[in-house]
Amino acid sequence: MKAPEDLRSHRWFGGGDLRNFSHRTRARQLGYEPEEHLGKPVIGILNTWSDINPCHQHLRERAEQVKRGVWQAGGFPLEFPVATLSETYQKPTPMLYRNLLAMETEELLRSYPVDGAVLMGGCDKTTPALLMGAASAGLPSIFVPAGPMLRGNWRGEVLGSGTDMWKYWDERRAGTIGDRELAELERGLARSPGHCMTMGTASTMTSAAEVLGLTLPGAASIPAVDSAHHRMAAASGARIVDLVWEDLTITKLLDERAYADAITTVLALGGSTNAVIHLIAMAGRSGISLSLKDFDAIARRVPVLANIRPGGDWLMEDFYYAGGLPGLLSRLTDLLHLDRITVTGRPLADSLAEARVHNDDVIRPRDNPVASEGGVAVLHGNLAPGGAVIKHIAADPALLTHTGPAVVFDNYADLKKRIDDPALGITADSVLVLRGSGPLGGPGMPEYGMLPIPAHLLEQGVRDMVRISDARMSGTSYGACVLHVAPESHVGGPLALVRDGDLITLDVPSRTLQLQVDDAELERRLASWAAPAPRFERGYGALYAEHITQADQGCDFDFLARAGANPEPDAG
CB distance 307 to 318 below 8 Å: no
Average pLDDT over residues 110-139: 98
What phi and psi values does residue 81 have, to the nearest 5 degrees? -75, 130
3-class DSSP assignment, residue 157? strand
Residue 509 CB-density burial (10 A; 0-12 exposed, 13-18 middle, 19+ buried): exposed
pTM of the model: 0.97
| ∠ Cα 407 413 414 (to 5°) | 30
| 3-state SS class at 117 | strand
CA 308 to the chain's CA centroid = 17
Residue from 144, 253, 139 nearest 206 by CA: 144
**Alpha-carbon distance values, 451 to 375, 410, 432, 433, 437 (Å):** 20, 13, 8, 9, 12
pLDDT given at position 351: 97
Peptide bond into 92 cis (omega under 30): yes
Mean pLDDT to the nearest integer, 397-419:
98
Q: What is the dihedral of CA 410, 416, 418, 421, to 10 degrees?
A: 150
- Are 506 and 465 a contacting pair, CB within 8 Å? no
Write down the mean pLDDT value for the chain. Answer: 97
The enclosing H or E element of 521 equals helix 519-527
CA distance 517 to 520: 8
pLDDT value of residue 523: 97
296-311 burial, b if ≥16 CB within 10 A, otherwise e?
bebbeebbbbbbbbbb
> Which candidate, 214, 190, 317, 208, places its Cα nearest to that of 267?
208
pLDDT at residue 190, rounded to an integer? 95
Q: Please report which confidence band the pLDDT of residue 571 belongs to, taking 50, 70 and 90 as the band edges.
A: confident
Find the helix or strand (DSSP H, E) in which 276 lies. helix 274-285
Name residue 514's beta-bridge partners. 505
The answer to which of 250-254, 449-453, 510-514, 568-572 has the lowest mean pLDDT is 568-572
Q: What is the DSSP letter of 96?
A: G
Average pLDDT, integer, range 202-214: 98
Q: Is the pLDDT of residue 565 over 90?
A: no
The region of weakest confidence among 105-109, 314-318, 374-378 is: 374-378
Maximum Cα–Cα distance across the chain:
79
541 in helix, strand or coil? helix
From CA 492, how far away is CA 79, in angstroms rounded?
45
Sign of the alpha-carbon torsion through 410, 411, 413, 419: positive
pLDDT band at 148 (very low <50, low <70, confident <90, very high): very high
Torsion of CA 276, 278, 282, 283, to 10 degrees: 10
Which pLDDT score, from 0 to 100, does residue 566 have? 87
Buried/exposed 12-41: b ≥16 CB within 10 Å, e otherwise: bbbbeeeebeebbeebeeeeeeeeebbbbb
Q: What is the pLDDT of residues 54-96, one digit of tens each?
A: 999 999 999 999 999 999 999 999 999 999 999 999 999 999 9
DSSP-assigned states of every residue in 307-362: -BTTTSSB-HHHHHHTTHHHHHHTT-GGGS-TTSB-TTSSBHHHHHTT---S-TTT
Say how far residue 461 (Cα) sits from the centre of its chain.
32
Region 439-449: mean pLDDT is: 97
Cα–Cα distances in Å, from 266 out to 25, 203, 313, 375? 48, 10, 17, 8
Cα radius of gyration rounded to whole Å, the chain: 24
**pLDDT tens-digit profile of 307-324?**
999 999 999 999 999 999
Residue 45 to residue 22: CA distance in whole angstroms: 23
Q: How confident is the model at residue 347 (pLDDT cuts 50, 70, 90)?
A: very high
Comparing 64-68, 225-229, 539-543, 563-567, the range with the smallest average pLDDT is: 563-567
pLDDT of residue 572: 78
Query: d(Cα 38, Cα 560) in Å, to the nearest integer?
Result: 33
| Alpha carbon separation from 539 to 84, 105, 405 (Å, rounded) | 19, 20, 41
